[in-house]
Amino acid sequence: MIDLLGNYAQDEITGFKGIVVARTEWLHGCVRVALQASSLDKDGNVREETWFDVDRIAILDSAHLKRANVTTGGPQRSVGKRRDPR
């Protein structure tokens, strides 16, 4: 599957546009992506992301945002058992 994260995309049914900020894959094959609108709401607040089935998404601008190449968690190298400070 193509890595959609960071692309500027549009939902083909509603016309909603935004950056793909998340992707989920469910047990029985449903794949959904979250689009984060690039504009603020009428009060100047960030809009909540909106989820769509991946089959409804059209990429408008690929690699719009680059993903950070950092480790943010998950399995990591063991540093060994620490000694008791007493």
Return the pLDDT at 25.
92
User: How many whole angstroms separate alpha carbon 31 and alpha carbon 23?
Assistant: 7
20-30 tens-digit pLDDT? 999 999 999 89
Widest CA span of the chain, in angstroms?
A: 64
Cα R_g (the chain), whole angstroms: 18
User: How many whole angstroms separate alpha carbon 76 and alpha carbon 59?
Assistant: 34
Return the pLDDT at 4.
84
Asked whether the beta carbons of 47 and 56 are under 8 A apart, the reply is: no
